[in-house]
Amino acid sequence: MDGRLGASLTSNKAHDKALRQWILVALFAIAFAWVEAAVVVYLRHIYYNGSFSFPIVVNWKDGRLVGDPLMYIEYLREAATIIMLAAIGLAAGKKALQRFCLFIVAFGLWDIFYYIWLRVMTGWPDGLLTWDILFLLPLPWVGPVITPVAIALAMIVAGSLILYLEEKGHQIKWSWYDWCIEMTCGLIMVIAFCWDWKNIIRLPAEVPYSGIPNPFAWWLFLPSLVLSLAYFVMRLKKVLTYQVDRPKAEN
């Protein structure tokens, strides 16, 4: 009995530690989202007179895009943002899958609270269908607010679910083809965001681009999002079913 009690207490401590770990990562992501939102507010005032509307300001000269020197700092800031979110996952996790899950949880919370804090600071976005510039690298990522929010929610749920199941003793292992399928779906969603890039940066052409976003490439985005979610659920269900049935088969 004492041994069982000791094992139970040890298990409870491990679960409590994992929960505290998740909460600390979440607090970092939420606080970091405020910093990100504040920076965007400053940039909008510097470049776009405080506006969040399209078209964005771009300058072309002799067929070349003339960039403000500060924009190169902005590119590196975006890259640094991803590095920081990845770093918190690496620092908090104990093994590779756990670190990755904490990273995507942090990324998802950061993305959602970025819009929440912008709403608090400026009253923008007006709604989930409001258009936004998501990233600038390697091309402008543009889409309705609901699209990054949907991806962020999926990341939070998927990452948290795997972390929870692993704490319960399940061995979650992903094969190389699992990663390939999920990453391919992610790449297609990125292509959907960048699909209208020529229009967004108003690439010189015989018929001038308006810079106003065209209808979003839902035909690319939705199938890839649904496939990624369906495959995740199917794969996770298969892993859990195998682990439940295996002891019976061995008996």
Q: Is the pLDDT of residue 83 over 50?
A: yes
pLDDT in tens, 126-179: 999 999 988 887 788 999 999 999 999 999 999 999 998 888 777 777 888 889
Residue type at position 234: M
Which two structure tokens, joined as six digits, stand for 151?
């991806």
Q: Is the pLDDT of residue 66 over 50?
A: yes
pLDDT in tens, 100-124: 999 999 999 999 999 999 999 999 9
pLDDT averaged over every residue in the chain: 84
The confidence score (pLDDT) of residue 96 equals 87
Q: Is the pLDDT of residue 222 over 80?
A: yes
Give the closest residue to 86 by CA, choosing from 172, 173, 25: 25
Q: Report how far residue 132's alpha carbon sits from residue 53's, in angstroms, rounded to the nearest whole number.
A: 8
The confidence score (pLDDT) of residue 217 equals 94
pLDDT band at 52 (very low <50, low <70, confident <90, very high): confident
Q: Is the pLDDT of residue 33 over 90?
A: yes
Q: Which residue has the higher pLDDT, 43 or 98?
A: 98
Instruction: Give just the sign of the alpha carbon dihedral 227, 232, 234, 235.
Output: positive
pLDDT in tens, 178-206: 899 999 999 999 999 999 988 888 887 77
Q: Is the pLDDT of residue 46 over 80?
A: no
The confidence score (pLDDT) of residue 248 equals 45
Which pTM value belongs to this model? 0.85
Residue type at position 189: M
Long-range contacts of the stretch 236-244 (C-beta < 8 A, 24+): 236/161, 236/162, 236/165, 236/172, 239/170, 239/171, 239/172, 239/173, 240/165, 240/170, 243/170, 243/171
The confidence score (pLDDT) of residue 69 equals 66
Q: Is the pLDDT of residue 2 over 70?
A: no
pLDDT band at 232 (very low <50, low <70, confident <90, very high): very high
